Structure 1
Amino acid sequence: MGSKFHAFMFPWFAFGHMTPYLHLANKLAEKGHRVTFLLPKKAQKQLEHHNLFPESIVFHPLTIPLVNGLPADAETASDIPISLDKFLSEAMDLTRDQVEAAVRALKPDLIFFDFAHWVPEMAKDFMIKSVSYIIVSATTIAHTHVPGGELGVPPPGYPSSKVLFRINDAHVLASLSIYYKRIYHQITTGLMNCDVISIRTCEEVEGKFCDFIARQYQRKVLLTGPMLPELDKSKPLEEHWSHFLSGFEPGSVVFCALGSQIILEKDQFQELCLGMELTGLPFLVALKPPRGSTTVQEGLPEGFEERVKGRGVVWGGWVQQPLILAHPSVGCFVNHCGFGTMWESLVSDCQIVLLPFLSDQLLNTRLMIEELEVSVEVSREKTGWFSKESLSDAVRSVMDKDNELGKLVRRNHTKWKEILVSPGLVSGYVDNFVDALQEYLI
Structure 2
Amino acid sequence: MKSVIIQPSNLNGKVKIPPSKSLSHRAVIAAGLSDGECTIDNISMSEDIIATCEIMKKLGVKINQFPNILKILGKGKPQLIDDKTASNIIASNELQCNESGSTLRFLIPIAMLTGAKVIFKGKSKLVQRTLKPYYEIFDKQNIKYTTINGNLPLTIDGSLKPGIFELRGDVSSQFITGLIYALPLLNGDSIIKITTKMESIGYIDLTIDVLKKFGVKVENNNYREFKIKGNQHFVNRDFRVEGDFSQAAFYLAAGVLGGDVECIDLNMESLQGDRVIVDIIKDMGGRISMDNGILKASKSDLKGTIIDASQCPDLVPIVAVLAALSDGTTEIINAGRVRIKESDRLKAMTTELNKIGAEVIEREDSLLIHGKPWLKGGVVSSWNDHRIAMAMAIASIRCIEELKIEDSGAVKKSYPQFYEDFKSLGGKVNERTMG
Q: Same fold, TM exceeding 0.5?
A: no
Q: Which has the higher contact order (CA 8 A, sep 6+)?
A: 2
TM-score by length of 2: 0.30
Higher strand share: 2
